């Protein structure tokens, strides 16, 4: 397992900042707590945990175009493993069916889990999320771009839940007067 600073994932950081701003500016509009425990962990996370084999981690580091950015990657021992979200799991494409079977066996959604599947081919088709787990195929050279994309999808899932809470509280009315108009302006500002 490695821990990467969130600076390696600019789209994710921007999404987190936007959600934090919406909640801060619209405190009176949302139910408390605004986020679930996992969603809160995702939104306020400063480091991203990357779970992979040491062999694949060495390959990721060797192929990164800016190795100076990876100096903040800390390798943890097994005794310190506490999973936090969002989490990235990086595996070789050969393990895709094992991952797919594992995801299909889940009985509930896991918010903030992202799976990177490494392949030699540069063609990376879209893989739909299953049980809240976001997946993407990538090459070693595009590791952090693909990871940022997955993490951004995770933060948008949190936004989707927040919007659903607003609909539950205010209804899907088209009347944008009062508090709902203010909420709409907040969403527009940060989108």
**Residue 128: pLDDT band with limits 50, 70, 90:** confident
- Mean pLDDT score of the chain: 78
For the chain, what are the domain ranges?
2-190
The arithmetic mean of pLDDT across residues 1-21, rounded, is 87
Cβ atoms of 31 and 70 within 8 Å: the answer is: no
Amino acid 14: pLDDT: 94
Amino acid 75: pLDDT: 54
Amino acid 77: pLDDT: 47
Whether the predicted pLDDT of 26 surpasses 80: no
The percentage of the chain sitting over the pLDDT mark of 90, rounded to a whole number, equals 14
Instruction: Lay out the sheet containing 74-75: strands in order across.
Output: 74-75, 2-5, 47-51, 87-92, 113-118, 133-138, 126-130
Cβ atoms of 29 and 70 within 8 Å: the answer is: no
φ/ψ of 181, rounded to 5, equals -65, -40
Amino acid 150: pLDDT: 94
Note the pLDDT tens digit of each residue in 141-164. Answer: 888 899 999 999 999 999 988 888
Rounded to 5°, the CA angle 77-96-50 comes to 25
Note the pLDDT tens digit of each residue in 78-111. Answer: 444 456 688 888 998 888 888 888 777 776 777 7
| Helix-, strand-, coil-residue percentages of the chain, each rounded to 5 | 55, 20, 30
């Amino acid at each position: 397992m490695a821990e990467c600073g969130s600076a390696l994932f600019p789209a994710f950081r921007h999404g987190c900042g936007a959600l934090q701003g919406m909640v801060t500016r619209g405190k009176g509009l949302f139910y408390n707590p605004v986020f679930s425990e996992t969603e809160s962990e995702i939104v306020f996370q400063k480091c991203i945990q990357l779970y992979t084999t040491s062999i694949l981690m060495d390959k990721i580091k060797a192929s990164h175009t800016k190795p100076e950015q990876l100096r903040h990657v800390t390798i943890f021992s097994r005794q310190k493993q506490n999973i936090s979200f969002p989490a990235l799991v990086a595996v070789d494409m050969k393990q895709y069916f094992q991952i797919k079977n594992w995801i299909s066996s889940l009985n509930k959604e896991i918010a903030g889990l992202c799976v990177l599947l490494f392949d030699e081919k540069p063609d990376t088709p879209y893989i739909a999320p299953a049980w809240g787990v976001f997946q993407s195929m990538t090459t070693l050279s595009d590791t952090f771009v693909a990871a940022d994309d997955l993490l951004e999808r995770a933060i948008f899932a949190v936004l989707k839940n927040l919007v659903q809470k607003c609909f539950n509280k205010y209804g899907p009315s088209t009347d944008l007067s009062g508090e709902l108009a203010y909420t709409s302006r907040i969403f527009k500002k940060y989108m």
